[in-house]
């Protein structure tokens, strides 16, 4: 993967005589980074977070128990790895809305 541009057209990297394909995004610490912009894509993280929220709220638990479970179980999924990247304004807004 290259950051900040298109993949090189004349370069092929191999391992054990097999070519390694170029990728448009890479995952690091659970976050997907775009190769062209270098920005973080949190779509899959948000999907996982909302899935956890639905599993917590779907149990019909007491309100305070649900708040505790969301805070200790779901919120770390949303924020994991965020301290290691610079978030663009659009991503910050998505996290704030969530």
Q: Give the chain's domain count.
A: 1
pLDDT at 16: 93
Of 6 and 15, the structure prediction assigns the larger pLDDT to: 15
Let me know if residue 67 belongs to a domain. Answer: yes
Let me know if residue 19 belongs to a domain. Answer: yes
Can you tell me the mean pLDDT for 75-95? 77
Spatial CB neighbours of 94, under 8 Å, sequence gap ≥ 6: 42, 46
Let me know if residue 38 belongs to a domain. Answer: yes
The answer, yes or no, to whether residue 18 has pLDDT greater than 90, is: yes
Range(s) of the domain holding residue 68: 14-97
Let me know if residue 23 belongs to a domain. Answer: yes
Let me know if residue 25 belongs to a domain. Answer: yes
pLDDT (tens digit per residue) in 35-84:
777 778 888 888 888 888 777 777 666 778 778 888 887 888 777 777 76
pTM of the full structure: 0.56
């Amino acid at each position: 993967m290259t950051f900040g541009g298109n993949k090189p057209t004349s370069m092929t990297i191999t391992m054990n005589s097999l070519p390694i394909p170029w990728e448009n995004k890479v995952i690091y610490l659970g976050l997907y980074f775009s190769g062209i912009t270098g920005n973080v894509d949190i779509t899959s993280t948000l999907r996982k977070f909302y899935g956890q929220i639905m599993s917590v709220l779907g149990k019909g638990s007491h309100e305070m128990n649900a708040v505790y479970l969301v805070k200790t179980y779901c919120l770390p999924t949303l924020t994991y790895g965020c301290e290691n990247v610079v978030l663009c304004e659009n991503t910050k807004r998505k996290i704030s809305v969530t």
